[in-house]
Amino acid sequence: MEEKGCCNQVQTTSCCSGSELSTDESTIINPKNPKKTISKDDINKIKEIASELGIVSIGYTKLSDDVFLNDDNLEYQNAIVLTMPIGMDIINEDPGMESQKLNDKLYKKFGKATYLISDELRKLGYETQVGHPREELTDFSTLGQDAGLGYIGKSGLLITPELASRVKVSAILTSIENLPFNEFNEYEWIREYCKRCSKCIKACPELALLEKEDKSDKAYLIEERCIGCSDGCTYCIESCPFYEKGYDWVKSKQDKIDNKLKK
C-alpha cells in the first residue's frame, strides 16, 4: 500500500512539515445529545457560511480505508470536505522564505475557516472533529476525490474543475448519517489523461517526483526532496495543463482522444 504524506502526495519517505497538530480553535464544545441527521436548511446554512469564508467547494463522503493516516485520532466515519484556493500571490512568488510565509498565512486562514464552520455545526446540534488542512489527520486529497470534488493527478494533488490543483483541502469529520454523500465521480477520466502527461514531474526543480516504471497515473514523491512544505513551491501546480490551459481545454482534448480510440 502506498504511503501518503502531509502534502497530500504519494511518498516513499516520512512526512515533512505539517505533521504537528494545530491548536484546537473550537469555541463551542460538542453537544451531549447530538443529532444524527441533518436538515436541508442546515446544509444550506453551512454552504452559505463556507462561501462567505472563501471556501470554493464543499463535498461529503464516508471515510474509506484509503484515507486513514492515524486511525487512533479519527472519531467519526463521515466527512464534510472543503477546498480553499491557493492565492496567486503564492503562485507568482518564487520558492523561498516569502512564499512560505504566504503559504503559512493561507493555512492559518483556512484552518480558522474550518473551525468556524465546525463551531456552527456544533451550535446546530451536530458532533464534529476538525481536520486542519496542515495536519496529518487523514489523506485530504483522497477525501476530496471520494467526495466528488475532483480527482487526484499524477503529482498526488487533487485536481478540481474550478482551480486545477491550486487548492488546499480540509475536512470536518462528523457522526451525521444522512449527508448527501457522493456516489459517482465525474472526474475519473483525469486518471487517463495523467497517465500520458508528466509535466509536473519534469517541472520539479528538486527531482522530488519520479515516474513509475509502468508510467501509471501516479508518481512517486520523495518527500525529503520536496520543498512545497518548506519553501512554498508550486511548480508542479503551475506546470499542470489543467492550470495552464484550464479544465475545459483538457477535457476537450481527452474527449478527442477517447473518440479516436472508439473508432
Query: Which comes out higher in pLDDT, residue 136 or 108?
Result: 108
Residue 259: per-residue pLDDT: 85
Is the pLDDT at 29 greater than 90? The verdict is: yes
Local confidence band at 3 (pLDDT 50, 70, 90 cut-offs) = very low
Residue 162: per-residue pLDDT: 94
In Å, what is the CA distance from 250 to each residue of 88, 105, 197, 241?
A: 21, 31, 11, 7
| Whole-model pTM over 0.95 | no
Mean pLDDT of 64-71: 67
Residue 263: per-residue pLDDT: 66
- Average pLDDT, rounded, for the chain: 88
Read off the pLDDT of residues 101-126 as tens digits, 9 standing for 90 and up: 999 999 999 999 999 999 999 999 99
Is the pLDDT at 233 greater than 60? The verdict is: yes
Backbone angles phi, psi at 160, to 5 degrees: -115, 155
Mean pLDDT of 75-86: 95
- Residue 17 contacts residue 232 (beta carbons within 8 Å): no
In Å, what is the CA distance from 164 to each residue of 25, 121, 159, 217, 259?
A: 29, 29, 5, 16, 24
Distance CA 34, CA 128 (A): 10
Local confidence band at 21 (pLDDT 50, 70, 90 cut-offs) = low
Read off the pLDDT of residues 158-212 as tens digits, 9 standing for 90 and up: 999 999 999 999 999 999 999 999 888 999 999 999 998 999 999 999 999 999 8
Q: 201-227: string of b/e by CB count within 10 Å (b at 16+)? A: bebbeeebbeeeeeeebbbbbbbeebb
Residue 5: per-residue pLDDT: 41
Percent of the chain with pLDDT over 70: 89
Is the pLDDT at 12 greater than 90? The verdict is: no
- For residue 32, the 8-state DSSP code is S
Q: Which segment, 1-5, 145-149, 228-232, is predicted with the most confidence on average?
A: 145-149
